């Protein structure tokens, strides 16, 4: 074992703690062990200088990663493949002839009024494997007990589960991102001058126009007045979506989304900004509190700096669902702070997770294949609104 003398460092630390000296540059290289390989760390006793130091304790980092994105799991089933979703258009009203009676005119009651039914079919499967091999006997010599080896194997299983969880998290965000991209593209892509929008709401343009200000995205996300206005607008849209309208979905269908079927997802910068700048110093904080929502730390990625321009950005090619030439739309949009959507607008169905094992007898190891099949979907007939900060 390598022995470090730290008496001098401790004396200096105590002087700083007691106020007997100013802060000094501390050399922590003799204090903190940052680990290394077994070749780096193997040592000998300080008596005979021949006895190899033994491993006294084995610590396995087994920490479950629970994920950090909203759940969009809707349903699961065993047999069949296609998801069939059936909806009906609102019937049109006709004149009430009870108050238009004309002498001698015939009134025909035997008219057939056919409902306008729409069916959408979803039959796309996403799948991936995550393989991991396990030796049968080769690692037994590395442990002093069956319990220690069991903890080691448990650690491997937990890391596999964590790897699956983070992959499913990222796929979930992509399902939301495709809806964000299409909602913005259909409303703003061909504009010659920027507009506020109603399916993709440019809150910064709305605020600057309303109050005659020139806030930038970076300034707005930390500006209490803007955050208060944005909170007001998000709550307003939540109310509006509960009424029947054609304005809040890409395909212009008559839809309404009751509050209990609304899902709200907000970017962490905005959600925490509302808490810090609005709720913390407001006596009646319920008047400025955001609706119940999930939080994401980024939509597509954190970038290398976790800056707002990175966390609030998506740069994607969307699928508009037409399966025709040009159906992929490139969207590069930053400043996204949140979305409100109908529970039926997007989701994951028919999750099939399973493990298949292959044994290799000559090398005495087996490989587990962790297989996952999922069906992700977007339904552009359902309500979905994105809020962003555009210049």
Model confidence pLDDT, tens digit, residues 210-268: 999 999 999 999 999 999 999 999 999 999 999 999 999 999 998 999 999 999 999 99
Residue 379 in any domain: the answer is yes
Domain end call among 35, 54, 73: 54
The domain in which residue 34 lies consists of: 1-54
Contacts of 127 (CB under 8 A, 6+ apart): 371, 372, 373, 374
On whether residue 306 sits in a domain, the answer given is yes
Asked if residue 84 belongs to a domain, the reply is no
Same domain, 50 and 140: no
Q: Is residue 22 part of a domain?
A: yes
350 in a domain, yes or no? Answer: yes
Q: Are residue 46 and residue 127 in the same domain, yes or no?
A: no
Domain boundary among 38, 54, 70: 54
E strand or H helix that includes residue 228: helix 224-241
Question: Which of 32, 54, 76 is a domain's end point?
Answer: 54
Q: For residue range 330-369, what is the model confidence (pLDDT) as tens digits?
A: 899 999 999 999 998 888 876 778 888 888 888 888 888 8
Domain contains 329: yes
Whether residues 48 and 152 fall in one domain: no
My answer on whether 159 and 262 are in the same domain is yes
d(CA 167, CA 126): 12
How many domains, the chain? 2
* 353 and 232 belong to one structural domain: yes
> 45 and 131 in one domain?
no
Q: What pLDDT shows up at residue 282? A: 52
User: pLDDT per residue over 58-110, tens digit each?
Assistant: 555 556 656 666 777 666 655 565 567 676 776 776 677 777 788 888 878 77
pLDDT in tens, 142-193: 777 888 878 888 888 888 888 888 887 888 888 899 999 999 999 999 999 9
Residue 284, classed as helix, strand or coil, is coil
Nearest residue to 249 (alpha-carbon basis) of 312, 202, 323, 186: 186
Residues contacting 117, CB < 8 A, separation 6+:
86, 87, 88, 89
The CA–CA distances, whole Å, from 12 to 17, 19, 338 equal 9, 11, 50
Q: Is residue 41 domain-resident?
A: yes
The answer on 142 and 278 residing in a single domain is yes
Same domain, 330 and 252: yes
Structural domain includes residue 203: yes
**Cα–Cα distances in angstroms (integers) from residue 340 to residues 39, 240, 254, in the given order:** 55, 11, 17
Q: Do 363 and 275 belong together in one domain?
A: yes
- Do 152 and 46 share a structural domain? no
Q: Give the pLDDT confidence score for residue 283 in this predicted structure.
A: 45
The CA distance from 293 to 283, in Å, is 22
Do 259 and 378 share a domain, yes or no?
Answer: yes
Instruction: Write the burial class of residue 7 (CB in 10 Å: 0-12 exposed, 13-18 middle, 19+ buried).
Output: exposed
């Amino acid at each position: 074992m390598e022995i470090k003398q730290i008496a001098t460092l401790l004396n200096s630390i105590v002087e700083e703690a007691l106020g007997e000296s100013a802060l000094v540059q501390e050399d922590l290289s003799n204090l903190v062990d940052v680990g290394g390989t077994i070749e780096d760390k193997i040592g000998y006793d300080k008596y005979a200088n021949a006895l190899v130091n033994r491993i006294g304790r084995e610590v396995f980092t087994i920490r479950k990663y629970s994920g950090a994105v909203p759940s969009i799991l809707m349903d699961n089933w065993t047999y069949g493949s296609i998801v069939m979703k059936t909806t009906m258009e609102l019937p049109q009203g006709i004149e009430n002839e009870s108050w238009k009676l004309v002498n001698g005119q015939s009134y025909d009651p035997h008219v057939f009024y056919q409902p306008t039914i729409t069916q959408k079919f979803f039959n796309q499967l996403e799948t991936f494997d995550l393989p991991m091999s396990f030796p049968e006997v080769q690692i037994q010599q590395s442990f002093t007990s069956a319990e220690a080896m069991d903890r080691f194997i448990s650690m491997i299983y937990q890391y596999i589960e964590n790897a699956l969880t983070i992959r499913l998290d990222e796929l979930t965000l992509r399902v939301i991102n495709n809806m964000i991209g299409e909602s913005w593209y259909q409303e703003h892509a061909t504009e010659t001058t920027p507009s506020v929008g109603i399916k993709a709401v440019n809150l910064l343009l709305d605020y600057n126009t309303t109050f005659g200000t020139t806030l930038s995205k970076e300034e707005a996300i930390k500006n209490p007045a803007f955050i208060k206005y944005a909170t007001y607008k998000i709550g307003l849209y939540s109310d509006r979506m509960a009424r029947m309208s054609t304005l809040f979905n890409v395909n212009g269908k008559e839809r309404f989304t009751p509050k209990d079927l609304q899902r709200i997802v907000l970017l962490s910068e905005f959600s925490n900004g509302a808490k810090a700048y609005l709720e913390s110093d407001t006596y009646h904080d319920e008047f400025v509190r955001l609706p119940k929502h999930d939080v994401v730390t980024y939509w597509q990625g954190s970038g290398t700096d976790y800056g707002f321009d990175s966390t609030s950005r998506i740069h994607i090619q969307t699928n508009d669902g037409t399966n025709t030439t040009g159906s992929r739309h490139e969207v590069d949009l930053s400043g996204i702070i949140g979305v409100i959507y109908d529970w039926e607008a997007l989701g994951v169905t028919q999750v099939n997770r399973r493990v298949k094992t292959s044994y290799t007898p000559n090398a005495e190891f087996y490989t587990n294949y962790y297989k996952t099949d999922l069906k992700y979907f977007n339904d552009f007939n359902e309500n979905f609104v994105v809020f962003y900060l555009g210049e």
